[in-house]
Amino acid sequence: MTTPPNWDLGLLYVPGSPELERDLAALRSKKEAFQAYRELLRERQPSLAEFGAMTRELEALRVLESNLEGWADLRFSQDTAHEEALAFLAQVREESAELEAAVLFYEIWWKELEPAAAERYLASLPEFDYYLRQARALLEHTLSEPEERIVALKNPNGREALVTLYSSYTNRYTFDSSFVPGGDGQPLNREELAVHFRSHLPEVRAKAYQELLRVYGQDGPFLAQIYQALVRDWRQENVRLRGYGSPALVRHKANDLPESVVASLLRVCQSRGPAVFGRYFQKKAQALGQARLRRYDLYAPLFEDKGRWEFGEAMDLVRDSFSSFAPQLAQLAGNVAESRHLDAALRPNKASGAFCASLAPGQIPWVLMSFKGRTQDLFTLAHELGHAAHSQLAREQNIFQFHASLPLAETASTFGEMLLAKRLLQDAGPQEKEALLFHLMDDAYATVGRQAFFALFETQAHELINQGAPARALAEAYLENLKTQFGQAVEVAPEFSWEWVAIPHFYFAPFYVYAYSFGQLLVYSLWRVYEKEGPDLAQRLMTLLARGGSGSPLDLVAEAGLGPLDDDFWAGGFEVIEGFLG
């Protein structure tokens, strides 16, 4: 297999087929049947057997929904210009929203049940334990029903409208392209502009960033006003009304991570990051023939990636590298291609980017990417097939506890990339080796270093805003954050003080970004264990992956005989990053 393959979505459903009609009908009829429990719960507490039946029926509904919506999504991503695929996707999404409303009564009843009764039900359904406990864990922050109704009614035109306003306003930005040599002078959108951050011409890189920050910067105070309103609303709702101890605790609870673990992660990133990445930036400046790196040069390319890999070769390398760690991992990755669930071909109108969609436990996941033969594509393949192996390992979990939670979701994918890097380094000549190590360092910085400092800024921004600080003070704090992060190693121009208003995560998902640092540094730390203890790690890692999302990240790591997630553990991850530097 040397040309990149197309997947065969017909293996799941064929448009207009009896199977598709049957499952759509089943989704509707099971949803109707489920309504009988609404009456029952209104009248009395269900028996243990009734509770079990009810939960399993909900599980079956979720599997149907996931297959139907998943297939509609996959079909659209395979050809985004396919109008009928888009119409079907909209139809299934509507069904899915209706299902949400139709099963809400079960979730509310479960959350509000008094503790002793809840424990009896929990004991009768151990396989759903984590899902059911997590649902109740958020109970203490639930408001009374009329209050929840007001929040639910006001939010779409409140904070959600502000987030939409931010997106639709900034999505309309266009950027001047007169700095692009040989360009046609047409204005660029953000994605087109970002391509030039990686230009091999220093002037072009600088101009591209200056243009980005000119456009965002001139609206800086306005975009900051949207952000300030979102931050104040977050605090009013979550801290004042719902009783969370701090704005960030909302996210920690959703991730089921103790605050102390996140604090430890960020502490180590803060103390180790600037020195390690500073050394890297000095090395990069040298390689570029500059006395000192400018912030504009962070992602400057050192080597041209000509795209020399055949697809078959890439597949063999990924399988080979997984196999050296655990043969089962290679076999699970291979399953995806062999069962025609892998779409790596280049086609017009195909969705950009890459993903692995795991629809339901026990099924082989679907992977989409566009393979152009570059080393970067090899890493994407290893990453997505790592995800695919993870969800196949977790096949014994039910659909509620199958997907790993955010902090652990990138474990197998990132570990897969490390295995591939190790394999590629074995045969690499001196220049290739250097290119690979620069690639690994770029990745480590972008995920561990940059995101951790984003998280530190975010906490500070929430504090400042709640003390009534003006937009200017936020911009100054951000520039300080960059200076601490880069020290003497990188020259930061003052226009970067407005970079934060161009980071959508701060707006639509407060305190989300540390999960990126967490996932990546976790894998480096596990890699450290692998380097020290060898193949013995394989069994423990597979145990962790097989648990999917069936426990808190901390418990799952501990049960697999890994961790504890303390300062020493995270510092181990930094030793691996230092190893890339040589």
In the complex, the residues that contact Zn ion under the rule CB under 5 A are: 413
Contacting residues for 363 by C-beta, under 8 A, at least 6 apart: none
What Cα–Cα distance (Å) separates residue 326 from each residue in 249, 415, 518, 520? 37, 12, 24, 20
In this complex, which beta carbon is closest to Zn ion, that of residue 170 or of residue 391? 391
In this complex, which beta carbon is closest to Zn ion, that of residue 334 or of residue 416? 416
In this complex, which beta carbon is closest to Zn ion, that of residue 414 or of residue 552? 414
What Cα–Cα distance (Å) separates residue 266 from each residue in 269, 298, 307, 384, 503? 5, 22, 37, 27, 19
In this complex, which beta carbon is closest to Zn ion, that of residue 196 or of residue 383? 383
**C-alpha to C-alpha distance for 362 and 359, rounded to whole angstroms:** 9
**C-alpha to C-alpha distance for 574 and 421, rounded to whole angstroms:** 17
State whether the Cα torsion 513-514-515-520 is positive or negative: positive
State the alpha helices, DSSP H only, in 342-410: 375-393
**Shortest gap between Cβ of 414 and Zn ion (angstroms)?**
8
In this complex, which beta carbon is closest to Zn ion, that of residue 375 or of residue 413? 413
In this complex, which beta carbon is closest to Zn ion, that of residue 77 or of residue 238? 77
In this complex, which beta carbon is closest to Zn ion, that of residue 237 or of residue 377? 377
**C-alpha to C-alpha distance for 154 and 157, rounded to whole angstroms:** 6
- Among candidate residues 323, 347, 504, 494, the one with its CA nearest the CA of residue 420: 323
State the alpha helices, DSSP H only, in 247-369: 249-255, 259-288, 311-325, 327-338
In this complex, which beta carbon is closest to Zn ion, that of residue 390 or of residue 423? 390
Token readout for 253 is: 């609870």
Token readout for 203 is: 């002037």
Contact assessment for residue 187 and residue 178, using Cβ atoms and an 8 Å cutoff: no
**Shortest gap between Cβ of 190 and Zn ion (angstroms)?**
22
- Among candidate residues 519, 509, 387, 392, the one with its CA nearest the CA of residue 452: 519
- 298 phi-psi bin (left φ>0, alpha ψ -120 to 50, beta other): alpha
**Shortest gap between Cβ of 462 and Zn ion (angstroms)?**
27
**Shortest gap between Cβ of 463 and Zn ion (angstroms)?**
31
**C-alpha to C-alpha distance for 482 and 478, rounded to whole angstroms:** 6
Contact assessment for residue 378 and residue 483, using Cβ atoms and an 8 Å cutoff: no
**Shortest gap between Cβ of 117 and Zn ion (angstroms)?**
40
**Shortest gap between Cβ of 358 and Zn ion (angstroms)?**
12
Contact assessment for residue 75 and residue 3, using Cβ atoms and an 8 Å cutoff: no
**Shortest gap between Cβ of 354 and Zn ion (angstroms)?**
8
**Shortest gap between Cβ of 520 and Zn ion (angstroms)?**
10
For 201-236, letters b (16+ CB in 10 Å) and e give eeebbbbbbebbbebbbebbeebbebbbebbeebbe
**Shortest gap between Cβ of 359 and Zn ion (angstroms)?**
16
φ, ψ of residue 343 to 5 degrees: the values are -115, 100
In this complex, which beta carbon is closest to Zn ion, that of residue 213 or of residue 408? 408
271 DSSP 8-state letter: H
In this complex, which beta carbon is closest to Zn ion, that of residue 170 or of residue 413? 413
**C-alpha to C-alpha distance for 339 and 334, rounded to whole angstroms:** 9
Query: HSE on the CB side for 118, CA within 13 Å?
Result: 20
In this complex, which beta carbon is closest to Zn ion, that of residue 78 or of residue 413? 413
In this complex, which beta carbon is closest to Zn ion, that of residue 54 or of residue 522? 522
In this complex, which beta carbon is closest to Zn ion, that of residue 392 or of residue 413? 413
Q: Give residue number: closest CB to Zn ion.
A: 413
3-state SS assignment for residue 563: coil
